[in-house]
Structure 1
Amino acid sequence: MLEVSPDSKRRIAILGSTGSIGVSTLKIVEAYPERFSVTSLAAGNNVEIAFEQCRRWQPKLISMATEERASELKNLLNAVGLRIPVLSAAAGTVQVATHHDADFVVSAIVGVAGLEATYEAVRAGKWVGLANKECLVAAGELITTEARRQQKPLLPIDSEHNAVHQCMRGGSLAEVTAVWLTASGGPFLNTPKSEFSNITVQQALNHPTWKMGKRITIDSATLMNKGFEVIEACRLFNLPPAQVKVIVHPQSTIHSLVEFRDGSILAQLSVTDMRLPILYALTYPERLESGLKFDLTSLRKLDFCAPDMEKFPCLKLAYEAAEAGGAKTIALNAADEVAVAAFLDGVIGFEEIPRTIKRVLDETTPSHPESIKQVLQIDVEARAFAAEVTGFEKPSFPALGVYTL
């Protein structure tokens, strides 16, 4: 167990420090200075925010997404006399994640860009707080196996899995009959399927509950985000897909539920503020006092309904990939990332997203990669085929660090 004595702090590395989860994590660090300190940061392309984070936290190391952005940050730091090493790309992110002074890594880089660093953090024996679901979707079998070998926890920061983790403390895994992941239903819950061909990017980005990045917002609109969460739950909690269920809950008040064999169901309710699951992960197995309180008197009703998998085929595709595992889940994530990017760029329509993913899955040969290098190879191939299917000329490919293809 990661011990925190009165004279020590949890020393945190943040992958994705300039994103919403990274910024929220730093707010938690600021609120509890006696408990946490910042060791290293991996930022994206936002040099301005990265510079301010360096001035405020003075990490021992920071990495930027590209060499160009790293050079810009170096110049700004030199101008104010800060001598902080600045690295770049995936190799730099790996060094941030494995810094010898860090004992807790928050993995919050969107997509497979954070995969290598997360895996290397686990290999290095770090405690890892996971806000990046794509890591477990693409390489969950490898990551969870290594975490068990290291005997170190993978602590979910995603609100749904964080809720499951909390509810699981009420019984043993052997006593669990089902995990229920709640879904808001997205902006098109009540939109007729006949109108899906006319859905615009602006409409799809208008999420009713959460303010998030563009890709995850589109994934929420197609329910693919919930499909990814099903796969993530299977791997985090060692459950078969049949035991991980999705239920639409528009109020998003209950984040998840766990059903036990005696018929008891434990639910986790809290404010819709990501600082709470971050705080839970950073302080596990303790709980600290916080001001993030839920007003039960404001609770008026809780609605639930089953998801319509014919209307939202991405969820069905995710369950099928979860059953197959391995290459199918890698291809699912890769194809979705390309298809969503093509939709956001106006190249394909909303209904073409699941059609593209299905074509890629149908062409993917079932296999179970035995290394991160093999995972990334399957990922690249799936992205290339998805780009061919959509006609999208700007497919994203992971920037490789220690695993050169």
Structure 2
Amino acid sequence: MKNISILGATGSVGTQALDVIKNQDDKFKLVAFSSNKNFKKTIEIIEGFKPEYVAINDKNTFNKVKDYCRNNHIKIIVLEGMDGLIEISTLNEVDMVITSIVGMIGLVPTLEAIKSGKDIALANKETLVTGGELVIGAAKSYGVNILPVDSEHSAIFQCLQGNPLNSLNKILLTASGGPFRGKSRKELVDITPEQAIKHPKWNMGKKISIDSSTLMNKGLEVIEAHWLFNVDYDSIKVLVHPESIIHSMVEYKDGSIIAQLASTDMRLPIQYALNYPNREKCIVDRLDFYRIKNLTFDEPDLTNFKGLKLSYEAGKAGGIMPTILNSANEAAVDLFLNRKISYLQIIDLIEECMNKFKNEKLSDLQVILVTENKVKSFINSKYNI
């Protein structure tokens, strides 16, 4: 029995991770999880999985959950905030931490989990985007496995099995192109949050859906792939693949290309990470090749969707530039979702911050946290937030 802690259990990936655990309840036990503001889902998880701990970031929800559990005589330890996240990430009885929490808030508890010797099933891309050097270094020092959960990185990981990294020539990272593929900048002027969160293929949370529409999500995945697989940025190529059947590919130095194909269901990469190196029973829809008529590919549009271009620039610059990029994106997406800025201003703000803030060496975790605060404070003050 493998004991699991989930950071961000009420979100899209966290919910699907719970489904995987439920389908293999003879192999996995949910010991702890975190949530933010979703009281109803939090109670459903507590009553359905009977974990020993829950960490809640939102103060009001924390109080409501604590009162509910006390009034209904539910035995569970209810924790609050970052201290709670760290505690459920470092519990002695936990074997693996699934980091599906969205945003840079996942960095600190992930590092603490690694230092406690926990294997990481990584779905929080911001952790590696901002702190890749620290996280990968810590994982090596403490002998911890980082198993990718993002469908693209899981695909690459699977394609690399049985082959040495020095035989790799190129990573081919696929992208659906998002809901606005093929649109001009003029056509993007009046895009609303409701339009931007409607992803054509994947069921994701609001923030990730917005990132996918701007191609920032793919840019963050490029930086993440650099750290996960120790590959130069010039050896990571993005392919727009609207069908989202090939989740990514690996090209070897002899010219051979290996691809991973599957239905668009996050439960497959989650299941693979939890059971690695074993494969278990199928819990997703199988592909029917008689029904697949086309597999098409195209170059990404870096003119109208500059997020990907800026991500390559930030990744190659190194230091704290990826933190500047990511912090600006988090703040800008939040403003857009709250209708404080227009859709096109998201990328404009990111570029403004990359030009405004000086890059410096990534010496420790504190530099990342200070940089995040500076960038977000600048953006919020700009719009009187």
Same fold at TM > 0.5: yes
Contact 1:254-1:270 within 8 A present in 2 as well? yes
What residue in structure 1 maps to residue 375 of structure 2? 382
Cα separation, 2, equivalents of 1:116 and 1:192: 39
How far is 1:23 from its partner?
A: 1.5
Aligned counterpart, 2:150: 158
The secondary structure found in structure 2 opposite 1:87 is: strand
Instruction: Give the Cα–Cα distance (whole angstroms) in 2 for the partners of residues 352 and 23 of structure 1.
Output: 31
Matches of 1:103 and 1:262, distance apart in 2: 39
From 366, 369, 377, the counterpart of 1:373? 366
CA distance in 2, matches of 1:332, 1:240: 19
Write the distance in 2 (CA, Å) between the matches of 1:232 and 1:105.
18
Q: Is the 8 A contact 2:336 2:346 kept in 1?
A: yes
Equivalent in the alignment of 1:81? 73
Structure 2 residue 109 is matched with structure 1 residue 117:
yes
CA distance in 2, matches of 1:152, 1:166: 18
The 1-side partners of 2:210 and 2:49 are apart by 33
Aligned residue for 1:398? none
Tell me if structure 2 keeps the 8 A contact 1:347–1:392: no
- Residues 122, 128 of structure 1: 8 Å contact kept: yes
Contact 1:16 1:108 in 2 (8 A): yes
Over 3 Å counting, the alpha-carbon distance change for 1:102 and 1:268 in structure 2 is: same
Question: Contact (CA 8 Å) 1:18, 1:46: kept in 2 or not?
Answer: yes
* 1:336 maps to which of 319, 324, 329: 329
Match in the other structure for 1:261: 253
Match of 1:321 in 2: 314
- Residue 298 of structure 1: aligned partner: 291
Q: How many angstroms apart in 2 are the aligned matches of 1:214 and 1:24?
A: 16
1:334 corresponds to which letter in structure 2? S
Deviation at 1:327, TM superposition (A): 0.7
Following superposition, the deviation at residue 235 of structure 1 comes to: 0.6
Q: Counterpart of 2:352?
A: 359
Is 2:126 the counterpart of 1:126? no
- Provide the rounded CA distance (Å) in 1 between the counterparts of 2:325 and 2:6: 26
Letter aligned with residue 55 of structure 1: E
Aligned counterparts of 1:356 and 1:392: Cα–Cα separation in 2: 15
Secondary structure of the corresponding residue to residue 219 of structure 1: helix
1:274 is aligned, of 256, 266, 271, to 266
TM superposition shift of 1:128: 0.3
Q: Which residue of 147, 150, 153 corresponds with 2:139?
A: 147
The CA deviation at 1:354 is 1.3
Q: Distance in 2 between matches of 1:373 and 1:45?
A: 27
Q: Take 1:301 and 1:265, find their aligned partners in 2: how far apart are those partners?
A: 18
Counterpart Cα distance in 2 of 1:303 and 1:60 = 47
Distance 1:70 1:346 in 2: 28
1:321 is matched by which residue type in structure 2?
Answer: A
Letter in 1 for 2:201: T
Equivalent residue for 1:30?
A: 22
Q: Using the alignment, how far apart are the partners of 1:331 and 1:233 within structure 2?
A: 18
Would you say the 8 A contact 2:267–2:283 is kept in 1? no
Query: What is the CA deviation profile of residues 263-313 of structure 1, one whole-angstrom value per residue up to 9, with x for unaligned ones?
Result: 000000011111100000000011112232222222110010111111111
In structure 1, the residue matched to 2:89 is: 97
**1:39 aligned onto 2:31:** yes
Distance 1:64 1:187 in 2: 33
Which whole-Å CA distance do the structure 2 matches of 1:361 and 1:300 have between them?
42
Q: Is the contact made by 2:35 and 2:42 (CA closer than 8 Å) also made in structure 1?
A: yes
Give yes or no for contact 1:309–1:316 (8 Å, CA) kept in 2.
Answer: yes
User: Structure 1, unaligned stretches of length 5 or more?
Assistant: 1-8, 394-405
**Which residue of 302, 312, 335 corresponds with 1:309?**
302
Q: Which amino acid is the alignment partner of residue 259 of structure 2? A: A
| Helix, strand or coil at the partner of 2:293 | coil
Specify the SS of the correspondent of 2:182.
Answer: coil
Rounded to whole Å, the distance in 2 between the matches of 1:225 and 1:299 is: 26
Alignment deviations for residues 59-100 of structure 1 (CA, whole Å, 9 cap, x no partner):
121111133322211111122211211011111011011111
What is the distance in 2 between the residues matched to 1:14 and 1:345?
Answer: 28
Structure 2: tracts of 5 or more residues without a match? none
The residue that corresponds to 2:9 in the other structure is 17
Q: CA deviation at 1:114?
A: 1.5
Deviation at 1:170, TM superposition (A): 4.2
Q: Distance in 2 between matches of 1:19 and 1:38?
A: 16
Matching residue of 2:40: 48
The number of aligned residues is: 384
User: Take 1:82 and 1:206, find their aligned partners in 2: how far apart are those partners?
Assistant: 38
**Divergent runs of 4+, >6 A:** none
- TM-score, length-normalised on structure 1? 0.92
Residue of structure 2 equivalent to 1:4: none
Aligned to 1:212: 204
1:174 aligns with 2:163: no
Worse-superposed segment, 270-279 or 57-66:
57-66
